[in-house]
Amino acid sequence: AQTSLAVLGHPIAHSLSPQMHNGALAALAKEAPQLADWRYYAIDVPPADLPRALRLLRKRGFLGLNLTIPHKVLALAHVAEIDPAARVIGAVNTLRRLGGANDDQPAHAGGDQCDSLGDGWQGFNTDGYGLAAAVRETLGLDLSGQPVILLGAGGAARGAAVECLAQGCPSLWIANRTAANLETLLSELAPLADKSRRGEKNRLHGFSPARVPDDLPAHALVINATSAGLRESDPMPIDLPALPRPAGVYDMIYNPPETPLLHRARKLGLPRANGLSMLVHQGAKALEIWSGIAASRIAPLMQKSLTP
């Protein structure tokens, strides 16, 4: 019988995930024949339909799901169990079916409620892992030893910030266009920052990208977690030359492959990379969660399946 996986999003047509996962699965199946019948699909699910889609796909026997815009936060309310890191981030991008039943029957009387009875979905967030692995691979930098200037305060920035703090990054500076969103994120992160490095003060800072502070650290890793750069007409999320010379620039955006920020980084001769490597590593970690095969073995196969 086929084992099914899928990414749910809206829109979803341009997702690279099916190509990446199916390519890796085909390569893995040569050595792990139990994966020969695994298939990964892309399913367009508007936000209002997410709860129904999660119930239906579970009943249809889907083993695992990825979630992308706009479902990562919405899905939290519909998972039966949540990984502690994903809870802190407040978003899930990977679900694994709980319970073995590949059932067409409701598991309980009132089967629509089964998600809250322990046999629905278990939620994870692999974006932070993906970012850390990508930064290490493409820039040779380690979040644990690296001052970080993080641009953005949305879902992706939240995952990045939690990962930086969890890894013990010595100082984290977050810049965001809308001050209120920045303040919300900083107040949510404050307990984590206090907890992870006792005794050290001022690890966590916020600033407006329109007013770059004088005391930003040199040799920081600049991470773009804003959506500024998705379109050619977008402004740069920060005036890169106004920063002390960074150790590198990582842009989570991979389409276009060179955003205005990365273009400027190239002109300045800075080490830089786009978000394709993060896409690969977060995907490899998801497939590890579903298959038990190490993400480090999966990632090169996913990378290869995306290379023309």
Alpha-carbon gap, residue 204 to 196, rounded angstroms: 11
Q: Which amino acid is at 223?
A: I
Alpha-carbon gap, residue 98 to 113, rounded angstroms: 14
72 catalytic residue (yes or no): yes
Cβ neighbourhood burial of 136 (10 Å; 0-12, 13-18, 19+): middle
Compare residues 35 and 157 and give the one whose CB is closer to ligand NDP: 157
Q: Minimal distance in Å, beta carbon 67 to ligand NDP?
A: 11
Annotation-wise, does 93 bind a ligand?
yes
Q: Which two tokens stand for residue 192?
A: 């984590």
Total residues contacting ligand NDP by CB under 6 A comes to 28
User: Does 160 participate in binding ligand NDP (rule CB under 6 A)?
Assistant: no
User: Does 275 participate in binding ligand NDP (rule CB under 6 A)?
Assistant: yes
Q: Minimal distance in Å, beta carbon 281 to ligand NDP?
A: 8
Compare residues 120 and 155 and give the one whose CB is closer to ligand NDP: 155
Helix (H, G, I), strand (E, B) or coil at 168: coil
User: Does 206 participate in binding ligand NDP (rule CB under 6 A)?
Assistant: no
Residue 206, Ramachandran bin (φ over 0: left; ψ between -120 and 50: alpha; else beta): beta
Q: Minimal distance in Å, beta carbon 302 to ligand NDP?
A: 12
Q: Is the dihedral of CA 242, 243, 248, 252 positive or negative?
A: negative
Annotated binding site: 15-17, 68, 93, 127, 152-156, 252, 254, 275, 282
- Chain positions contacting ligand NDP, by CB under 6 A: 69, 127, 130, 152-157, 176-178, 181, 225-228, 230, 234-235, 237, 252-254, 275, 278-279, 282
